Amino acid sequence: MSPDELVWSKSTHSSGGDGGCVEVAMDGAVVCARDSKWEAGPLLSLSPAAWGGFVARTAAEV
């Protein structure tokens, strides 16, 4: 599936007027992430387990 066909979501915790945040979308069994300010830029594709680990570690650091 192309990035334009995915349904992207932003965190409800996104802040700032510059629109800078990470968007995520599911592509089958893969979690895709991208920079919301650079929609045509590269995607980070992770397994759900890897994404869960990333989120858990990030939350622990905040």
The answer to whether 47 and 37 are in contact (CB under 8 A) is: no
Side chain identity, residue 3? P
Please give the model's pTM, rounded to 2 decimal places.
Answer: 0.77
Q: How many CA atoms lie within 13 A of 19 on its CB side?
A: 6
Domain containing 41: what range? Answer: 3-12+20-61
Of 56, 9, 51, 8, residue with least CA distance to 29: 51
Provide the percentage of residues in the chain whose pLDDT is more than 90: 47
Structure tokens at 40: 């045509």
Q: Per-residue confidence at 2, pLDDT binned at 50, 70, 90?
A: confident
According to the model, what pLDDT value does residue 16 have? Answer: 59
How many domains are there within the chain? 1
